[in-house]
Amino acid sequence: LCRSLGRGGGGGGGDNTPLITEILSLRQKKAEMLGYKNFAELSCARKMATPAKAMELMNDLRKSAYDVAVKEKQELAEFAKTKGHEGEIMAWDEGYYAELYRQEKLSFNEEDLRPYFPLPNVLKGMFGLAKRLFDIDIEQVEPPPPTWNADVRFFEVKRDGKAVAYLYLDAYARPEEKRGGAWMDECAARSKAMGGPDGVRLPVAHMVCNQSPPVGGKPSLMTLREVETLFHEFGHALQHMLTQQDYGLVSGVRGIPWDAVELPSQWAENWCYDKRTMDTLALHYETGEKIPIDLWNRLKEAKNYRAASRLLRQLQFSVSDLTLHSEGVPSGSSPHDVYRKVAETYLVSQPLESDRFLCGFSHIFAGGYAAGYFSYKWAEVLSADAFSAFEEVGLDQEDKVKETGARFRDTVLAMGGGRDAAKVFEDFRGRPPSPEALLRHEGLLKVA
């Protein structure tokens, strides 16, 4: 079964490897026609990172994670032996024993947290955090304007008592008419050209999630993952709503490089692991109790479980993508040979010979991440570094946290695509980004 899944679209009459080769060839021709050496350079022309800088970051992260990943594999093999496993841990064994280890050794089940995350409390705490950091008030409008569903809520965002933006929230799943996942998008962007009597049209955002609706008198109870997702989309919405750009094409999330647009969203997720913040929103829906410290500690430990192995897997995808779009496929080789060659450096457990992951790598062959899959990790570095600015002043130092929040609001959230993303980050942080905070958050920072 594992071998068959690995082959994916790479075997029999459905082998799409020739299509991958053709796509890579056409992209190279396109790059040359536009005056670029290769497609990776073309892709990065409108990103923060150059191909060389992206590869440098991937390699730096690999150095910090590789030895830890080797240790993680050894620990998993030892655990498997205690369960009667004989011989080497194979690809089809790893996932099973990793999950068994997590359940037995970490004693953490996300469902244990669900009673502590009723949606009304989560929204109140999340909006309270926005008030604390950015001095804004987010209030539900009653009665709401016409919406596409009765469950959709409409909020007004105010600063100093004056409306600055509006927000729709469509929180609940409706499988019969609504696709899965979660997203933020704009209804209207801030625009001087489209302005009303006050000269500026205010931005309007909508956030869409897919969590369980209230049932049997109980409020909508969220998993930790759903809380993170809500914060993630709220980070995007904040950048759209708090923009100070008056020109629509660079207002809010418009015009921001692909590898920087996830900065506010991933930054917002970090607050889900700040105990003070969680204590304002994680309250048991029946008793009002906060998350017990023992459960909180197990949550934090589970967060970084096999962090090195997970990081290396993402680096493998990113470097394979960059290599295919910069160096191409050597004569006499296939794209899968390039993927396996990268794996020799970036993975502890090597792919099976039959592995055809690239045949289903839709992000880079059927989506918008060609020569840009590294953007996920690049943005994680930015977001972790941005959050560390708050950690450095002390998350319990209220005046300094508010001061840092105001600076984040007036740079990262305000500038949109109207200023170079690297300069915006330096406006906030005072220096270029560093991966140190990300490695520390993942438990991978080497201590001298």
Catalytic residues: 233
Cβ(308)–Cβ(66) below 8 Å: yes
Contacts from 11-18 at CB under 8 Å and sequence distance 24+? 11/354, 11/356, 15/359, 16/359, 17/334, 17/335, 17/336, 17/356, 17/358, 17/359
Q: Which pair of structure tokens corresponds to residue 199?
A: 């000269």
Measured between alpha carbons, how far apart are the two ends of the chain, in Å? 44
Cβ(243)–Cβ(203) below 8 Å: yes
Question: Count of residues for the chain?
Answer: 448
Cβ(154)–Cβ(176) below 8 Å: no
Q: Which pair of structure tokens corresponds to residue 88?
A: 């080497």
Nearest to 134 by CA among 393, 415, 410, 421: 410
Nearest to 231 by CA among 266, 196, 206: 266
Please give the Cα distance from 438 to 388 (Å, whole number).
9
Cβ(444)–Cβ(308) below 8 Å: yes
Please give the Cα distance from 191 to 144 (Å, whole number).
23
Tokens 């190279």 belong to 28
Which helix (H) or strand (E) is 169 found in, with range? strand 162-172
Amino acid identity at 277: T
DSSP 202: P
Amino acid identity at 13: G
Neighbours of 323 (CB within 10 A): 20
